[in-house]
Amino acid sequence: MQETTTSKQMSNPTTAAAALRVFFHDCMVDGCDASVLVASTSLSKAERDSDLNEALAGDAFDVVTRAKNALELACPGVVSCADILAVATRNLVKYVGGPFFKVRLGRKDGRESVASHVEINLPRANASMDQMIDMFTSKGLTVEELVALTGGGHTIGFTHCKEFSNRIFNFSSTSEVDPSLNPKFADRLRQMCANYHKNPAIAAFNDPLSPGTFDNLFFKNLLNGMGLLASDQIFGGGPKNEAVGGAICKEPDGVLRDICSRHGED
């Protein structure tokens, strides 16, 4: 596993973010059972082909395929794709600066993969705090875990312009740009995304200050109005989110404490 993930990440540095997002999208929909990897058939449309999963990056699928091929040669029929995805993601997150943690093994691969289960289990970039909380708490996760996991996820990787274009073009009748965005950051995004209709592949870094490193700058960015997605910037505070701020503030340490004091100010 180690050899496969390291060589893949070295040749394609976008792999870590790709795998982390695929792992998140797998786990939220009917558990961490690799059902996101299953292909559609003529009779059923699989998770992978749902609208929300259409931009999942190919590198993630490729790293699992490579590891599965190597493991099947060494010990056929033993290691599930679900375990491979979990371990590959852990290795890749560690590679880009994240923590090492032990992955408990023994996941079974799901036999069912249903596209319509995706939309009800995964939030979109315009999700409200309540929607995100509902989706996470329904899986037994806390509000603090929602914030910490999303901050961990969005400290690496990319987002295509269409996911935040409503924040930088024609935002409202009184403001061209979402006022919760840092003005300089918004200007940069407007330039970068000027042609996104013609070229939908244009994408911005989720964490503009340290795009390839797993660190806590995502949270600091939020405090400076540099959350790329509307759903991210919600975690940075605002009058509407006082109740949420209260919940997040139960975690008293580090950067979350900055978010709490920001909530206090608003």
Unique residue bearing structure tokens 């099947």: 72
Residue 44 to residue 24: CA distance in whole angstroms: 22
- 95: helix, coil or strand? helix
Answer yes or no whether residue 93 interacts with ligand HEM by CB under 6 A.
no
Taking the least distance from each CB to ligand HEM, the nearer of 1 and 93 is 93
Annotated ligand binding at 31? The verdict is yes
Annotated ligand binding at 35? The verdict is yes
Taking the least distance from each CB to ligand HEM, the nearer of 71 and 115 is 115
Answer yes or no whether residue 231 interacts with ligand HEM by CB under 6 A.
yes
Answer yes or no whether residue 127 interacts with ligand HEM by CB under 6 A.
yes
> With contact defined as beta carbons under 8 Å apart, do 16 and 96 qualify?
yes
Taking the least distance from each CB to ligand HEM, the nearer of 29 and 132 is 132
From candidates 45, 94, 117, 160, binder to ligand HEM by CB under 6 A: 160
Q: Which residues fall within 8 angstroms of residue 7, CB to CB, at 6 or more apart?
A: none
Per-residue b or e along 131-150, where b marks 16 or more CB atoms closer than 10 Å to that residue's CB: ebbebbeeeeeebeebbbeb
Answer yes or no whether residue 20 interacts with ligand HEM by CB under 6 A.
yes
Subset of 137-156 contacting ligand HEM (CB under 6 A): 149-150, 152-154, 156
Q: How far is the CB of 124 from ligand HEM (least distance, A)?
A: 6
Q: How far is the CB of 162 from ligand HEM (least distance, A)?
A: 7
Answer yes or no whether residue 192 interacts with ligand HEM by CB under 6 A.
no
Active site residues: 25
> With contact defined as beta carbons under 8 Å apart, do 206 and 156 qualify?
yes
Q: Which stretch binds ligand HEM (CB under 6 A): 1-9, 95-103, 123-131, 209-217?
A: 123-131
Answer yes or no whether residue 103 interacts with ligand HEM by CB under 6 A.
no
The DSSP call for residue 103 is P
Unique residue bearing structure tokens 């910490």: 148
* Tokens standing for residue 144: 């603090």
> With contact defined as beta carbons under 8 Å apart, do 42 and 55 qualify?
no
Answer yes or no whether residue 17 interacts with ligand HEM by CB under 6 A.
yes
From candidates 163, 204, 245, 263, binder to ligand HEM by CB under 6 A: 163
Residue 250 to residue 234: CA distance in whole angstroms: 17
- 264: helix, coil or strand? helix
Radius of gyration of the chain (CA): 19
Binding residues: 26, 29, 31, 33, 35, 47, 123, 154-155, 207, 215
Question: Which residues of the shown chain bind ligand HEM in the complex (CB under 6 A)?
Answer: 17-18, 20-21, 24, 55, 57, 123-125, 127, 132, 149-150, 152-154, 156-160, 163, 206, 229, 231
